[in-house]
């Protein structure tokens, strides 16, 4: 998107205020067959989206079954965002002691 935003600024066919938004559609990466921790997977995606100034992160789920995991991850992110030192952020995440879940054998 950065390259597109730069290109749109140079184009005479577009208004000077045209800006492409970066929207990422994502989901529970690795939380089925690999048993990844749901809170950790969404937490990592939310932090990455924030730090890279993504305009919108849309998290797709099949059901509302894991709303508590999403809320818990969001609460953790709110606590971590003020910290600017990545080593401290990683240390804080480790202290949450998030456990691997069981594979669903898919």
The CA distance from 4 to 21, in Å, is 10
- Exposed/middle/buried for residue 38 (C-beta within 10 Å: 0-12, 13-18, 19+): buried
* Backbone phi and psi for residue 27, each to the nearest 5 degrees, phi listed first: -170, -155
Running DSSP on this structure, what letter comes out for residue 31?
S
Kindly report, residue by residue over 9-33, the tens digit of the pLDDT: 555 555 566 778 999 998 887 777 7
pLDDT of residue 1: 44
pTM, entire model: 0.71
- The DSSP secondary structure of 56-93, one letter per residue, reads EEEE--SSSTTHHHHHHHHHHHHHHTT---HHHHHHHH
Kindly report, residue by residue over 78-89, the tens digit of the pLDDT: 999 988 899 999
């Amino acid at each position: 998107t950065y390259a597109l935003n730069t290109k749109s600024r140079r184009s005479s066919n577009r208004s000077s205020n045209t800006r492409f938004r970066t929207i990422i559609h994502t989901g529970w990466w690795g939380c089925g067959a690999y048993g990844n921790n749901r809170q950790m997977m969404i937490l990592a995606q939310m932090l990455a989206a924030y730090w890279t100034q993504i305009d919108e992160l849309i998290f797709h789920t099949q059901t509302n079954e894991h709303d508590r995991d999403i809320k818990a991850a969001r609460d953790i992110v709110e606590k971590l965002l003020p910290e600017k030192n990545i080593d401290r952020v990683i240390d804080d995440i480790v202290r949450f002691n998030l456990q691997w879940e069981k594979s669903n054998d898919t």
